[in-house]
Chain A
Amino acid sequence: MDFRYSEEQLALQDTLQRFISRDYDFAHRRALVGSPLGFSAEAWARYAELGLLALPFPEEFGGLGGTGVDVMAVMEQVGQGLLLEPYVSTVVLCGGLIRDAASESIKQSILPRVAAGQLQMALAAYEAAGRYDLAHVACAAVEAGGGWVLSGRKAVVLDAPSANYFLVSARSAGQVGDTEGISLFLVARDAPGVTTLPYPTQSGGRAADLQLTDVSPEALIGVPGRALGIIERAVDSAIAALCAEALGIVTALNQATLNYLKTRKQFGVAIGAFQALQHRMAEMIIAAEQTRSMAIIAAVHVDLDDGAKRRRAISGAKAYVGQAGRFVGQQAVQLHGAMGVVDDLIVSHYFKRLTMIDMSLGDADFHLARFSDALGAEA
């Protein structure tokens, strides 16, 4: 066993850390949140230079052949810096789907451009009333004249406003909720019949609702009717990435809170002198270590082909990290007192991002249910 990052991974983290402290401070981030794009195009170009956008792709498509742990190393820094760029959507979710399921020609046309920072993508998988169920697909795919026609709606598509392409799940057979009969399509954002309704998100990002009216997709990705498995796998990878992002945030929040306990004086002493607060801080540090372990478990399982084993590890990690992040986020705010609830300090923004990580791609309850259902199946 080896629980350390490699030299290369540490060097990459170091580079990102320097980039964040030099070019992506809190004031800069706030300006980006309020800007029309909502993130930094310059930062995106920088990620391309650093190879981050090529990380999980095979070398033959301009990639670096990286692993889940490489992505974890990056995402931990994304969390620390509260970076806003659509890395998970473009590289992990959609890039991963193209890598795992698309034809050679689609891979050739898409992945090098992703790696070069030239295009962005968003996964349109969730629908109204479906909650976190990826099989809740009503959006219709009909075969016609040698191609496909898509009609329907997709809800809260993260990072959709800036995406050049959407990967859209649509039902080519069966009923809403069936695991079979779901197909995946590559859709250009400017394709006729595509309309978007964009809005900001609670943690400074962007999302949109999608309306598809008789849309001709660019391509079918994978086997018709059999897309749920590949979508779940990509979502599992994204969940592992979110766990690593949460780890970065929890680590940063603990550091900020510890500094505050040492410097904030009340009753003539630093508030860190109070045992009640010392114990709370000790619990927060334990939660961070447990979060790191769970993020590692998630990262090493994303490349597993055994779907049941992978899902159990990923759902377990997401459920645990959701709870641990909730605890650390709430307590970091509490220990900062009123300073914890002001917009001017980064603490409240870390707290909001942790909360929204929990609410994304299945919350702690959803994943606890998946984990414990699998436990029932073992018996």
Chain B
Amino acid sequence: MDLNYTPEEESFRAEVRAFLAAELPAEIRDKVNLGRRVRKDDMVRWQKILYRRGWGAGMWPKRFGGAGWSVVQQHIFDEEAAAAGAPPQLPFSLRMVAPVLMAYGNAAQQGYFLPRIISGEDWWCQGYSEPGSGSDLASLRTTAERRADHYVVSGQKTWNTLGQHADWIFCLVRTGSEGRPQLGISFLLIDMKTPGVSVRPIITVEGEHEINDIFFDNVKVPLENLVGEENKGWTYAKFLLGHERTNNAGIGNCKRSLKRLKKIAGTQMMNGRPLIEDPRFRDRIARVELELMALEITNLRVLSAEASESRAPGPEVSMLKIKGSEIIQQLAELQMHALGHDALPYIREALELDWSAPPLLAEHYPEFAPPLSGQYFNLRKTTIYAGSTEVQKNIIAKLILGL
């Protein structure tokens, strides 16, 4: 047992930190740290900066252009990047479709798409859920009919995140109706510019446009956009979900949120003293911090075991997803609570970086205040998306406990 980083890992951390200090644009950093709207341009710009450094995709193998980092190196990078105020890298591109292409795509697909992903040239989104198929994903009904040299895709995907910016969407589609529903599913890559693809915004609880419905009306998709074999898509889909859930522990993000919570609780006043001196509130922070301390090590233990055994993420990642989502929700809730009645104002323009509070408001409405209630509302999604907490518990019960 040794929880210490090796000297090599420590020097890697120093290298990452120096890079972030030098290369992360101040404007992006401020948006992230203050919870202001981060736009597509910001994320693409950051991806290109990482790419130039050779860090466009830390955990990808070197033969695909990745940095070939270890689990611990990736953890160090995530932690430092979050602490510095770096925006997230697009998970749909880097951590979802890319691993599927590496594992199941052909050489042509790998050769075309992976370089465009790592360089930030293409923006990917996910076409999984449908109106009638959420937790029961395998019941999906979007169809792809095979013709001579293309598929014709028709149907609707929903809860699609950031697809309004996307160049490509990876979709689960139904290509067969024989046997169990899982058997007739295929994994298709669809150019968002194809005629018949349309995007309709869904406004979420906090009032922002983050997710969409995507409609496919007789969309022609070349046969070569099929990944792997026809009707084997469910295998690839589950492989992808494993990768998605690993990421969902979101340790770096949780640590940044905890740090922000402590700062807010140290600034907000109660009875003439900083709120963090109130034992009732401080204990609530302490309880979340304990959960996070444990999860950081649990996360590393699970990922290291997978790496050393060279296997894909297993059902253990369900634990990481459950805990990580609960922790980020609790941190957001405490941040909102720290505001007291300053949680009440809803000032949409305050989510832009160039907004500053009018003098009267500024007296009690600090610059960290505007996004906090909305973040609490929005982050209720984390125990719902990527397999709800209830679905994750079913996975644990079935695949780990054998119940």
Task: Determine how close the nearest CB of chain B comes to the CB of A293; give it in whole angstroms.
Answer: 24
Partner of A200, one of B135, B347, B376: B347
Residues of B close to A268: CB separation below 8 A: 136
Query: What is the interface residue range for chain B against chain A?
Result: 35 or more
**A256 contacts the other chain (CB 8 A):** no
Smallest distance from the beta carbon of A152 to chain B beta carbons, Å?
11
B344, A360: Cβ atoms closer than 8 Å? yes
A334 at interface by CB-CB < 8 Å: yes
Contact, CB under 8 Å: A334 / B389: yes
User: Which one, A127, A130, A201, contacts B344 given CB within 8 A?
Assistant: A201
What is the CA–CA distance of A306 and B275 in the complex, to the nearest angstrom? Answer: 31
A171-220 contacts to B (CB < 8 Å): 177, 195, 197, 199-203, 207, 209, 211
Q: Is B64 an interface position by the 8 A CB rule?
A: no
B129 proximity list for chain A (CB < 8 A): 338
Cβ of B378 within 8 Å of any chain A Cβ, yes or no, is: yes
Is B377's CB within 8 Å of the partner chain A? yes
Select A132's contact among B136, B281, B340, beta carbons within 8 Å. B340
Does B302 sit within 8 A of A, measured CB to CB? no
Partner of B377, one of A129, A158, A351: A351
Asked whether A365 lies within 8 Å of B343 as measured between CB atoms, the reply is no
Contact across chains for A359 and B336 when beta carbons are under 8 A apart = yes
Secondary structure dominating the interface of B? mixed
Contacts of B5 in A (CB 8 A): none
Per-residue interface assignment for chain A, residues 238 to 261, with 1 indicating a CB less than 8 Å from any chain B CB and 0 otherwise: 000000000000000000000000
Q: Is residue B388 contacting chain A, with contact meaning CB distance below 8 A?
A: yes
Of the stretches B144-152, B191-199, B203-211, B308-316, the one at the interface is B203-211
* Interface size class of chain A, counting residues whose CB lies under 8 Å from the partner chain: 35 or more
Given the interface contacts A133-B271, A334-B383, does A343 sit within 8 Å of B363 by beta carbon?
no
Chain A hits for B12, CB < 8 A? none
Partner of B360, one of A158, A197, A338, A356: A197
Decide if B364 touches A369 in the complex (CB within 8 Å): no
Considering the chains assembled together, what is the distance between the CA atoms of A249 and B337 in angstroms?
21
Given A132-B340, A359-B340, CB of A342 within 8 Å of CB of B204: yes
> CB of A89 within 8 A of chain B?
no
Given known contacts A131-B270, A197-B360, A342 and B205 CB-to-CB distance under 8 angstroms: yes
B380 near A338 with CB under 8 A, answer: no
Tell me whether A266 is interfacial, beta carbon within 8 Å: yes
Complex-state Cα separation, A194 to B44, whole angstroms: 48
State whether A342 and B203 are in contact (beta carbons under 8 Å apart), knowing that A266-B135, A334-B383, A337-B135 are contacts in the complex.
Answer: yes
Would you call B364 and A129 a contact (CB within 8 A)? Answer: yes
The verdict on A201 contacting B345 (CB below 8 Å), with A132-B340, A266-B139, A337-B384 known, is: yes
A343 touches B341 (CB 8 A): no
Indicate if A142 sits at the interface (CB-CB under 8 A).
no
- Residues of A within 8 Å of B385, CB to CB, are 338
B269: Cβ under 8 A from any A Cβ? yes
Bound-complex Cα distance A265 to B380 (A): 22
Work out how many contacts link A and B, with CB atoms closer than 8 A: 147
With a cutoff of 8 Å between Cβ atoms, the chain A residues found around residue B388 in the complex are: 334, 337
Bound Cα distance from A132 to B270, whole angstroms: 8
The reply to whether B136 and A131 form a contact with Cβ atoms under 8 Å apart is no
Min CB distance A276 to B, Å, is: 6
Contact call A155/B136, Cβ cutoff below 8 A: no
A338:B384 contact, CB within 8 angstroms: yes
Indicate if B159 sits at the interface (CB-CB under 8 A): yes
Residues from chain B with a CB closer than 8 A to the CB of A340 are: 205, 380, 384
Return chain B residues, CB-CB under 8 Å to A365. 280-281, 337
> How far is A211 from B133 in the complex, measured between Cα atoms in Å?
53
Taking a contact as CB atoms under 8 Å apart, the answer to whether A351 and B205 are in contact is yes
Cross-chain contact of B343 among A126, A334, A343, A359 (Cβ < 8 A): A359
- Is the CB–CB distance between A359 and B384 below 8 Å? no
* A residues 332-348 touching B (CB-CB < 8 Å): 333-334, 337-338, 340-344, 348
Closest chain A residue, CB of each to CB of B377: A352
A71 contacts chain B at the CB level, 8 A cutoff: no
CB distance from B377 to the nearest CB of A (A): 6
Residues 131-187 of B contacting A (Cβ, < 8 Å): 132-136, 139, 158-159
A31 at the interface (CB under 8 A from B): no
- The answer to whether A342 touches B202, judged by C-beta atoms less than 8 angstroms apart, is yes
Which of A271, A343, A356, A363 contacts B337 (CB under 8 A)? Answer: A363
* Docked-complex contact B380 and A341, CB < 8 angstroms: yes
Q: B341 CB to closest chain A CB, in angstroms? A: 5
What separation, in Å, do the CA atoms of A142 and B376 have in the docked complex?
42
Q: Closest approach, in angstroms, between the C-beta of B358 and any C-beta of chain A?
A: 6
Query: Nearest CB to that of A361 among chain B residues?
Result: B341
- The interface centre, meaning the residue of B139, B159, B384 with most chain A CB atoms within 10 A of its CB, is B384
Give the shortest distance, in Å, between B382 (CB) and chain A (any CB).
Answer: 10
Bound Cα distance A156, B134 (Å): 40
Query: Are A338 and B344 in contact, CB atoms less than 8 angstroms apart?
Result: no
Closest to A372 in B: B280
Which residues of chain A come closer than 8 Å to B268, judged between CB atoms?
131
Residues on B with C-beta less than 8 A from A177 are 271-272
CB pair A201 B346 closer than 8 Å: yes
- Could you tell me if B280 and A369 are in contact, using CB atoms closer than 8 angstroms? yes
Q: In the complex, what residues of A have CB within 8 A of residue B374's CB?
A: 202
Q: List 11 A-B contacts (CB under 8 A).
A: A155-B342, A156-B344, A199-B346, A202-B344, A202-B374, A211-B360, A268-B136, A341-B204, A341-B378, A344-B202, A348-B204
Known: A131-B341, A348-B204. 19 other contacts (CB 8 A): A126-B341, A131-B268, A132-B341, A133-B270, A195-B360, A200-B345, A202-B344, A266-B136, A330-B380, A337-B135, A337-B384, A338-B134, A338-B158, A338-B381, A340-B380, A343-B202, A355-B373, A360-B344, A368-B280
Interface residues of B (CB under 8 A from A): 129, 132-136, 139, 158-159, 202-205, 207, 211, 268-272, 275, 280-281, 336-337, 339-347, 358, 360-361, 363-364, 373-374, 376-378, 380-381, 383-385, 388-390, 393
